Amino acid sequence: MKFTTERLSIRPFKSDDLHDVFHIYNNEDICKYLLHDKWSKKNMKKLFENKLKNRSLTKETSLSLAVLDSTKVIGDLSVWFTGMKDTVEIGYSFSAEVSGKGYATEAVSQLVRKLFYEQEVHRIQATLDARNTSSQKLCERIGMRKEAHFIQDFWSKGEWTDSMVYGMLFSDLKKAEN
């Protein structure tokens, strides 16, 4: 999957994206609510290899996409099937330097359109740490609805955390577009 938006190019990762991606994931604040710790120089190549392998969305493989402004990779989009028929989950991370510029909203909303129109998925969901208010706002901006708030349901980085699930159906997108 490869596409553009008004300001961005979105495509599978290439090997020369390593240092831009490391810049995103070597930030404690960016990784605070993710399932993994921040990347180090020691583990960055191994972790990046997984992104390089995830080149197409199938029932068995997830898809990892680089989000580029005119000069470098500023974000990472991920999509995988959940195991429920025609349902995918999305994840996203963006460089701290581009926070507040609308790039995440632009990229994720276009990804959602592509998934519904081209991959013909039935449902898109995002599961996030309830403390991640930026991610909650992004989900709401692109038309997802909060469907669940689970209390201390996930053990992450040495503590019990709350999870939120946001969801969207194709019919929700159609309503938002009209």
Q: How far apart are CA 122 and CA 145, in angstroms?
A: 15
Among the listed residues 127, 120, 110, 112, the one whose alpha carbon sits nearest the alpha carbon of residue 161: 127
Among the listed residues 95, 114, 90, the one whose alpha carbon sits nearest the alpha carbon of residue 10: 114
pLDDT tens, residue by residue, 61-79:
999 999 999 889 999 999 9
Q: Are 154 and 33 in contact (CB under 8 A)?
A: no
pLDDT tens, residue by residue, 79-136:
999 999 999 999 999 998 898 999 999 999 999 999 999 999 999 999 999 999 999 9
Indicate which CATH number applies to the domain containing 38.
3.40.630.30
pLDDT value of residue 116: 96
Rg of the Cα trace of the chain? Answer: 16
Token pair 């240092």 is found at 19
Q: Which amino acid is residue 115, in one-letter code?
A: L
Q: How far apart are CA 21 and CA 76, in angstroms?
A: 8
Residues whose CB falls within 8 Å of the CB of residue 93, separated by 6 or more in sequence, listed in order: 24, 25, 30, 34, 75, 76
Domain count, the chain: 1
Residue 178 has pLDDT above 80, yes or no: no
Residue 32 has pLDDT above 80, yes or no: yes
Banded pLDDT at 7 (limits 50, 70, 90): very high
pLDDT value of residue 71: 84
Domain that residue 170 falls in: 3-177
pLDDT tens, residue by residue, 45-59:
998 998 999 999 999
For residue 166, give Cα distances in angstroms to 23, 96, 114, 145. 28, 23, 18, 5
Query: Pairing relation of β-strands 123-129 and 87-94?
Result: parallel
